[in-house]
Amino acid sequence: MIWVVSDPVFDQHLEGIFHMESRKRTRALASILANEPFSDRVIPVQPRAATEQELAWVHLPEYIEKIAQTSGKTLIYLDPDTQTTPQSYAVARLAAGSVFSLIDAVYNDPLHRSGIACIRPRAIHAEPDRAMGFCLFNTWPWARRIFSTGMGRTDSDRGYGYSSWQRHPESLL
């Protein structure tokens, strides 16, 4: 059995523009998981938005506010790789919160220690004070800290943003 968080609402990030990190990735993964041999092994995780307090575990308040101010705006370039569209802030909060829910599910279920987050925008590359690598928020440092407490191994692209927290782990939680 595997915990899976997925929702069509994640398609609203960068909706209507061409971007390398497209909804095709999450749709393809969700399609694979919805069919045999995986469909009877999926335990769904309900998506939820991260609170500002949760985002502040890994991001500066000024940065969170900067991303919040992109809400409703047609197209904002945060860096050459990372843009937002009108729903990106809300969807990014949903993606980050969904990762936290997935972590909770995996951490609290001793029989099912695997999970997949079919989310966008991804939540692994952003730095504490800036977007990076298509990512608006970063949940990887927090997840890594939880899983490195002896629970098990993580297999993930840990992203560029992880290096900031690896140098300063006291900034987490």
How far is Cα 127 from Cα 47, in angstroms, rounded to an integer? 23
Helix, strand, or coil here: 166? helix
When pLDDT is cut at 50, 70 and 90, the band that residue 13 belongs to is: confident
- The residues near 28 (Cβ < 8 Å, ≥ 6 apart) are none
**pTM, rounded to two decimals:** 0.80
Predicted pLDDT of residue 139: 80
Residue 76 DSSP one-character state: E
Report d(CA 9, CA 91) in Å as an integer: 7
What's the pLDDT band for 95 if we cut at 50, 70, 90? Answer: very high
> Is there a contact between 156 and 87 (Cβ–Cβ < 8 Å)?
no
pLDDT over 60 (residue 155): no
For the chain, give the mean pLDDT.
Answer: 81
Give me the residue spans of the domains in the chain: 2-168
| Per-residue pLDDT at 103 exceeds 50 | yes
Give pLDDT tens digits for 32-73. Answer: 988 999 999 999 999 999 999 989 988 999 999 999 999 999
Q: What is the per-residue pLDDT for 107?
A: 86
CATH T-level fold of 2-168: Arginase; Chain A (3.40.800)
Which pair of structure tokens corresponds to residue 56? 């502040």
The contacts of residue 167 (CB under 8 Å, 6+ apart) are none
Which of 2-11, 96-105, 133-142 comes out lowest in average pLDDT? 133-142
Q: What's residue 157's pLDDT?
A: 45
| Phi then psi dihedrals of residue 39, to 5 deg | -55, -35
- Cα→Cα distances 154→6, 45, 93, Å: 19, 18, 22
Residue 148: closest CA among 103, 117, 101: 103
